[in-house]
Amino acid sequence: MREAIRLAGADEERSLLGSHDDTIRRVRDALGVRAFTRGGDLIVEGDPDSVREAVRVLTRLLDIVRSTGDLSGEDIDAVIDSSPVSETGGQGIVRALDGTFIAPRSKGQRMYVEAMRARGITMAIGPAGTGKTFLAVAMAVSYLRQGLFRRLVLVRPAVEAGEKLGFLPGDLAEKVNPYLRPLYDSLGDLLEFTQIQRYRDQDVIEIVPLAFMRGRTLDNAFIILDEAQNTTPEQMMMFLTRMGRNSMIVATGDITQVDLDDDQVSGLVDAQRVLAGIEGVRFVELENSDIVRHPLVQEIVVAYEARSRSTRGDP
């Protein structure tokens, strides 16, 4: 869906868009739409519900510009927070198929979303149920809709398959599909099945095993590495160096759930040491308090952690 808002002139356009287009960027990020100026109009594109909400927000901001001549940060926050994402502090990402607005639901998740919005390399480390993969996929879908990236590349190591992949029945896609299934599940909450298929046919969305990344350079892409704790340091370096122009990377993993052989170091753990302090690489550590699945999941994680500490003799 596309809607146009008529602007009175260049001065009004500058006042509404803000310094370095900061205002319009905040609206795009909060509501998951694409917005740009053309021929004196502010064009808003995206799914119908998001476009209608963005037009409402932008029209209100334009009313403030026309009445006061300027927009303050407080004005922008107040108008964005009056939208359906108000309870999330204006940090909504994208609308799901069921109509709910995907947004961070804990302090750790908010830090994670802010790190991703910096568009460098983000490494999210935390237990199951903290939304590491789902929030990354939601951010990627939002950015695709805004036209900020041309491709979404979802990557996962097929550690359990090891060298036995060739013995599994079916063609290559059928062999690796079980290890990529969680990525399809996350996409399925945000996009219709036919749209996912169309995007895959057009190479807009690619879901691949980590081993298939060697030798590639990915430009204009949002790249997600899921289950990054199951990479070796060499695989992690190989993956990170696939990053091309106008691309960003999100790597997610739970360092308490490493499936590598005992004598192998996790590439995610190694990256924490090697890449610490590099500008543009952000580490976000999610905790049990950030678990947003069924309430029992948090209790299960805590119980297993307590047993692990007891076994090690930790206090």
The predicted pLDDT at position 124 comes to 97
The predicted pLDDT at position 89 comes to 44
> What is the residue-wise DSSP string for the chain?
-EEEEE---HHHHHHHH-GGGHHHHHHHHHHT-EEEEETTEEEEESSHHHHHHHHHHHHHHHHHHHHHSS--HHHHHHHHHTSTTGGGTS---EE-TTSPEE---SHHHHHHHHHHHT-SEEEEE--TTS-HHHHHHHHHHHHHHHTS-SEEEEEE--TTTGGGGGGSSS-HHHHHHHHHHHHHHHHHTTS-HHHHHHHHHTTSEEEEEGGGGTT--B-SEEEEE-SGGGS-HHHHHHHHTTB-TT-EEEEEE-TT---S-TTSPPHHHHHHHHSTT-TTEEEEE--GGG--S-HHHHHHHHHHHHHHHHHHT--
The predicted pLDDT at position 296 comes to 77
pLDDT band at 31 (very low <50, low <70, confident <90, very high): confident
| pLDDT, tens digit (0-9, with 9 covering 90-100), for 71-109 | 887 777 777 765 654 444 445 687 788 777 788 888 899
| Rounded-to-integer distance, Cα 144 and Cα 142, Å | 5
List Cα–Cα distances, 103 to 29, 114, 292, in angstroms: 11, 11, 12
| pLDDT, tens digit (0-9, with 9 covering 90-100), for 118-165 | 889 999 999 988 999 999 999 999 888 878 899 999 998 876 544 344
Residues in the chain: 315
